[in-house]
Structure 1
Amino acid sequence: MRQNASAVLSILILGVVLFATAQAAEKKTLEATVNVQESIEKAAATSQKKIDAVADQADRMLTEYKLIMRQYDALKGYNDQVARIVRAQNEELATIDEQLLEIDTTNQGVIPLMGRMVDTLDKFVALDVPFLPDERSKRIEELKTLLDRADVTVSEKYRRIMEAYQVEMEYGRTIEAYTAELVVDGNKRSVDFLRIGRMTLMYQTLDKKETAVWDNDKRTWRVLPEEYRKPTMLGLRIARKQAPPDLIKLPVPAPEKAQ
């Protein structure tokens, strides 16, 4: 009986030892598993951080890329516009060069023409009825001075010459009365002049005692008879707008036969 009891006790002890050993092994296995799991979680967390960092960097790079692409598009559009402007300016410069060449060619003909126009006007005034001699001579001298000025454009010179021609044309269809000095036979005196177009130029002394008309063929003054004194006085008043228009008897040169 004692031997059986000892055998049972030995078996129980062995079972306890085996159970304890199994528990210890299981505990070690569990701890190892936990350690592995923790290592995996730590590695996953580290990897996630790396992934998050890479994702953030990718987002920044994508944002920078989009910004750079917008800047590129803007710069490309600007460069294209500048290129178009440069092409247009080059074309305009070529056109200007052609125009300058044409202007130079034109000036070669226009400038001598303007000189001849002023000379012609000077001769015309010299041969014309001698009304307003100082004013007309001064205008021509100013034109001659103007032609030699480098600071005045060709177009302005031409405009001034045409303006002078226009003034001379206006004299032919207007009447005028003015007082000025007259020198006859070395004697200077103030007289009233009456101009009717270019047909008649007369003067009357301020005391109304002498009336004369210009003879352009003989280039001299011709004293008129008494019958022209009052008509000349009336003509002077009409020209000064001191009397209404009226028919007056004044000497007019006979028309010349056309050649």
Structure 2
Amino acid sequence: MIPFRFIPLVIFLISLQNVSFAESTTSHKIQKQTGYIESSSTIQKHVEAIDDQTQLQREITRNLDHEIRLQTRYQSQLQRQLEQLESVVDELESEMSNIRQTKVNLYPLLEKMVTTLEDLVRTDLPFDKRQRLERVERLNLDLDNPQMSEAEKLERILIAYQTEIQYGTQVKTWFGRLTPTQEVQFIRVGRLGYYYLSLDTLTAGMWLAADQKWGALGADETAQIEQALITLNDGGTYPVITLPKAQ
């Protein structure tokens, strides 16, 4: 039996033991709660990390989907452009084929035009004949010039034709040599008549196209030529002149 005087000490020790036990239990619970909180925090961080990755994947997926749609529209646009380009190429090839065929057909035409022009000059009134034949010869050289396009060749031929056409509307007088020893005054009325008058006004002549030579005129016709030259040399505007009829 415990003596009475020791009972308070025992009670104190028991209380101290209970307090220690209670503190130990509380500390254990705190540690356990702390561990639970730390575990929950780790899990939360892991969940947040997974959520971040999920959001990132969704963003990547949206970007890829947008890029795919853009690429699809771009491919469709390229396809339409390609089809249009193929159509243009087909048209160009057709035009080039037509141009090549035109060039094939154009050269004989140009050649014929130059030949026709040369024949005209040779059979026409013999005014400025050397100059006109030289122009035709240059056209023949142009036809054989590979550095000139058919368009340029055609342009020069048309200019030559235009020049010959203008001769048909001109009325001109000038001094020149009928022969190496005889100087005369010429008069040309378009392509209707070509005449000369000697400087002493005693003789005159008219170009005979059928015979391709000069024919002498009588006194009356010579007087007509002289009067026509006087009228034209006076500088009258559109004078009325009378000339022998060309044959």
Is it true that 1:162 corresponds to 2:158 in the alignment?
A: yes
Shift in alpha-carbon separation, 1:18–1:56, aligned structure 2, 3 A: same
User: When the two structures are superposed, what TM-score results if normalisation uses the length of structure 1?
Assistant: 0.73
Who is 1:151 aligned against?
147
Q: 3-state DSSP class of the match of 1:243? A: coil
The equivalent residue for 1:23 is 19
2:211 to 218, 221, 242: 218
Query: 1:8: Cα distance to partner?
Result: 9.6
d(CA) in 1 for partners of 2:231 and 2:131? 25
Whole-Å separation in 2 of the counterparts to 1:208 and 1:59: 118
CA distance in 2, matches of 1:193, 1:69: 94
1:1-150 equivalences under 5 Å are: 6=3, 10=7, 15-58=11-54, 71-150=67-146
Extract unaligned runs of 5+ from structure 2. Answer: none
Contact 2:185 2:196 in 1 (8 A): yes
- Helix, strand or coil: the match of 1:195? strand
CA 1:179/1:18 → structure 2, altered by over 3 Å: closer, same or farther?
Answer: farther
Write the distance in 2 (CA, Å) between the matches of 1:229 and 1:149.
48
Give the stretch that moved more between structures: 211-220 or 120-129. Answer: 211-220
**CA contact 2:175–2:185 (8 Å) conserved in 1:** yes
In structure 1, which of residues 215, 231, 244 is the aligned counterpart of residue 228 of structure 2?
A: 231
The answer as to whether partners of 2:197 and 2:225 remain within 8 angstroms in 1 is: no
- Displacement after TM superposition at 1:127 (Å): 0.5
CA 1:46–1:98: 2 relative to 1, 3 Å: same
Q: What is the Cα deviation at residue 211 of structure 1?
A: 4.7
- What residue identity is the alignment partner of 2:21? A
What is the distance in 2 between the residues matched to 1:56 and 1:178? Answer: 106
Of residues 124-133 and 65-74 in structure 1, the stretch that sits farther from structure 2 once superposed is 65-74
Q: 2:181 aligns with which of 169, 184, 187?
A: 187
Q: How big is each residue's C-alpha offset from its partner over 1:8-40, in whole Å with a ceiling of 9 and x where there is no partner? A: 964x65554444333322222221222122223
Q: CA RMSD in A?
A: 3.5
Query: TM-score, normalised to structure 2's length?
Result: 0.76
Partners of 1:194 and 1:68 in 2: how far apart?
93
Question: How far apart, in 2, do the equivalents of 1:179 and 1:36 lie?
Answer: 136
- Matched-pair contact (CA < 8 Å) for 1:180–1:192: yes
Aligned residue type for 1:23: V
Shift of 1:122: 0.8
- Cα pair distance change 1:29/1:206, threshold 3 Å: farther
- 1:91 is displaced (CA, Å) by 2.4
Deviations 1:82-127 (A, max 9, x none): 4333332322222222333333333333322221221111111111
Give CA-to-partner distance per residue, 1:161-220, whole Å, 9 cap, x none: 233323323332x12426464342x4364x554332210123456776765432222222
Matched position secondary structure for 2:242: coil
My pick for the range that moved more, 90-99 or 53-62, is: 53-62
> Which secondary structure state, in structure 2, belongs to the residue aligned with residue 165 of structure 1?
helix
